[in-house]
């Protein structure tokens, strides 16, 4: 399956064809890429095709990144041995994680990281960043569920049955701090992925973002969730004082700041 803005690889095995195996032919191959939206009008595609042989195996790859949701036609010809092959693929829209299952937007994470926009060719990729956002949102949901139970609100759109709103004011405040915490946590994961294995200023930024995330969770998200719980139970006719709201199982800032892949974390 091919998706727009994501690398697609076509492979051509010349090891077992007549006269083969054929090695070292990358330089004598020509790739022509076309696309069509309606099946009748064919236009030349501007996307570049990278030709490579895997070692000296006669196994060749042709890689390109489609920019349109159209049908792409790749034709490869080899001049020395008069070989040719064609491949056609329908390109769909972007696939993978989306920010509908996060409390923040991708632009919120970009604002924290300050390394520009993310695409299919960046490190990390855009889909990976969106995945970080979803994972952090799930962690925040788990923290709140200790207070709000089945009424815990998920992101405003997406897969959760109860979704965060903007009314009353206590819910609006919760949505705002969730957005901040989600963005800070995803930014920490993004920075970690971008500088994996590096002992640099980037790793210091990871620590900063993790600390910000922990502070937002402990000092803002949990109190805001308690406020929503209190407002909800009061509207239902049962008054719950602030002192009667049970403490969640995770309130330690030190524990909240543990690396996200640490199994001791919430």
Task: Report whether pLDDT(162) > 50.
Answer: yes
Residues whose CB is less than 8 angstroms from the CB of residue 152 and which lie 6 or more positions away in sequence, other chains included: 141, 144, 145, 162
The answer, yes or no, to whether residue 98 has pLDDT greater than 50, is: yes
Q: What is the pLDDT of residue 1?
A: 57
**Chain centroid to CA 125: how far?**
7
Question: What percent of the chain shows pLDDT beyond 90?
Answer: 48
Confidence grade of residue 163 (pLDDT, cut at 50, 70, 90): confident
User: Is 266's pLDDT higher than 50?
Assistant: no
Helix (H, G, I), strand (E, B) or coil at 255: helix
Work out the average pLDDT over 42-47.
Answer: 94
Per-residue confidence (pLDDT) for residue 165, from 0 to 100 = 83
DSSP classification of residue 247: P
Omega cis (within 30) before 168:
yes
Chain center to CA of 260? 16
User: Which pLDDT band holds residue 243 (cuts at 50, 70, 90)?
Assistant: very low
The three-class DSSP label of residue 2 is strand
Model pTM above 0.75: no
pLDDT at 193: 87
Q: Where are the domains of the chain?
A: 2-92, 99-256
Cis amide bond preceding 163, omega within 30: no
User: Residue 10 and residue 62: Cα distance in Å, rounded?
Assistant: 5
Q: Which CATH architecture has domain 2-92?
A: Sandwich (2.60)
The percent helix, strand, coil of the chain (3-state, each to 5) is 40, 20, 40
Beta pairing class for 59-64 and 83-92: unpaired
Higher-confidence residue of 159 and 205: namely 205
pLDDT of residue 257: 42
Q: Is the peptide bond before 124 cis (omega within 30 degrees of 0)?
A: yes
Check if the beta carbon of residue 137 is closer than 8 Å to that of residue 101.
yes
Chain centroid to Cα 54, Å, comes to 29
CB 41 within 8 A of CB 34: no
* Displacement of CA 114 from its chain's centroid (Å): 17
- Does residue 201 carry a pLDDT above 70? no
What pLDDT score does 151 carry? Answer: 87
Residue 86 per-residue DSSP state: E
For residue 167, the model assigns a pLDDT of 82
Q: Are 34 and 42 in contact (CB under 8 A)?
A: yes
Task: Assess whether pLDDT exceeds 70 at residue 101.
Answer: yes
The answer to whether residue 123 scores a pLDDT higher than 90 is no
Question: What's the chain's average pLDDT?
Answer: 82
* pLDDT greater than 50 at residue 240: no
Sheet holding 8-13, edge to edge: 8-13, 59-64, 50-53
DSSP-H helix ranges across 47-168 = 106-113, 126-148
Q: Does residue 69 surpass a pLDDT of 70?
A: yes
Residue 5 has pLDDT above 80, yes or no: no
Strands 42-44 and 50-53: unpaired
> What average pLDDT does the segment 174-180 reach?
95
Q: Are 92 and 1 contacting, i.e. CB atoms less than 8 angstroms apart? A: yes
22-26, 172-176, 240-244: segment of lowest average pLDDT = 240-244
* Residue 128 scores a pLDDT above 80: yes
Q: How far is CA 66 from the centre of its chain?
A: 19
Q: What is the pLDDT of residue 178?
A: 96
């Amino acid at each position: 399956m091919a998706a727009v803005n994501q690398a697609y690889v076509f492979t051509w095995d010349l090891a077992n064809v007549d006269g083969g195996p054929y090695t070292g032919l990358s330089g004598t191959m020509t790739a022509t890429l076309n696309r069509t939206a309606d099946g009748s009008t064919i236009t030349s595609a501007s996307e570049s095709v990278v030709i490579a042989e895997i070692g000296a195996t006669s196994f060749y790859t042709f890689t390109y990144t489609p920019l349109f949701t159209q049908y792409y036609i790749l034709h490869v010809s080899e001049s020395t041995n008069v070989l040719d092959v064609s491949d056609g693929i329908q390109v769909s829209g972007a696939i993978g994680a989306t920010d509908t299952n996060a409390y923040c937007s991708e632009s919120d994470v970009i604002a924290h990281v300050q390394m520009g926009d993310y695409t299919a060719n960046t490190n990390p990729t855009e889909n990976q960043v969106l995945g970080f956002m979803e994972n952090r949102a799930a962690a925040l949901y788990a923290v709140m569920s200790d207070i709000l139970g089945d009424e815990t609100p998920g992101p405003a759109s997406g897969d959760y049955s109860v979704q965060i709103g903007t009314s009353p004011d206590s819910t609006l405040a919760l949505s705002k701090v969730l957005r901040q915490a989600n963005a800070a946590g995803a930014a920490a994961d993004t920075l970690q992925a971008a500088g994996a294995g590096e002992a640099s200023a980037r790793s210091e930024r990871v620590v900063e973002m993790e600390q910000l995330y922990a502070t937002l969770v402990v000092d803002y998200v949990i109190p805001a969730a308690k406020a929503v719980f209190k407002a909800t139970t009061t509207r239902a006719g049962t008054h719950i004082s602030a002192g009667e709201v049970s403490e969640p199982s995770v309130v330690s800032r030190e524990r909240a700041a543990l690396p996200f892949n640490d199994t001791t974390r919430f």
